[in-house]
Amino acid sequence: MTNAALAFVFPGQGSQKIGMLSEIALEAPEIPATFAEASEVLGYDLWDLCQNGEQEDINLTQRTQPLLLTSSVALYRLWRGRGGALPGRMAGHSLGEWSALVCSGVVAFKEAVHLVRERGRLMQEAVPLGSGSMAAVIGLDDEAVEVACAGSAKGEVVAAVNYNSPGQVVIAGNSAAVERAIQACRAAGAKRAMSLPVSAPFHTELMRPAAEKLAPQIEAVQFDTPEIPIVHNVHAQAESDPAAIKALMIEQIYHPVRWTACTQKIIADGTAQLIECGPGKVLAGLVRRIDRNITCHAVDNPYSFNEALRSTAA
């Protein structure tokens, strides 16, 4: 049964940690079964990696991306298998948009695992290690951050790339330009402006070569019409045409993530309750900053999963 007031959101990179989903997997065979499917594609044991590996291993973007996709899909399968309501809409933050595509029936899970591994590899290869960086800016409005970036470029690339919530923007680009923009944001009155431990300047023009290399692989995979509307990062609108969705998933690699606008769109469309379907509560925290009237649930442990089931039952 569909709950029109319910939305699912899927996290991106940064939510991974060793031991994630271990507790819920003990009572939900759907979790390790989904990881086993992904492992067949990847050629290594993804569940063992995230339970017994090292944090630096799961932080490698070509491993992080399949890991988070698989975690989100596993939890969504469990949700539906336990009688959880069908949401009225979906959105995903960066990589999380691929999780939304799988859960909405646009692309097959195993195809998505392959594509996001390639996405991660190509994004890492697009910029030499150490020559690009990202930084979080807290307490400055979007326009002031954009002005600071424009004045700091000096022939290099630096831009706002994640509009996460009012007063929280991530910038990225060439390392020297990002450092200049950090100083400019501080001078403009930012409460905090700090480098992030990220290996590449995601969602900038520097990622366009990665998008161009991934594009033929995306084009070769079948995309179907979404069963549940997905609000896309690039323009904060839903799209039903599979060809248009493919184009958006290519553009998404080098376009900003307009998360504030995506959240505002799903709320305007009638969302009252929201489930973060993946490890952690990063997106729930952002959503609360955007609109405190929205009830947010996590589902990455047995207690919160069962609580969300009860709270969203039609």
Query: Which of the residues are catalytic?
Result: 94, 203
d(CA 14, CA 67): 11
Q: Estimate the share of the chain in helix, then strand, then coil, as percent rounded to the nearest 5.
A: 50, 15, 35
Helix (H) or strand (E) holding 79, with range, is helix 61-81
Neighbours of 302 (CB within 10 A): 14
Closest CA to 69 of 266, 306, 278: 278
Per-position DSSP letters for 169-204, written without gaps between them: EEEEEEHHHHHHHHHHHHHTT-SEEEE---SS-TTS
d(CA 240, CA 226): 6
d(CA 238, CA 235): 9
Q: Are strands 158-165 and 168-174 parallel, antiparallel or unpaired?
A: antiparallel
**Three-state secondary-structure class, residue 306:** helix
Neighbours of 79 (CB within 10 A): 23
CA atoms within 13 A on the CB side of 196: 22
Give the gyration radius of the chain's Cα atoms: 19
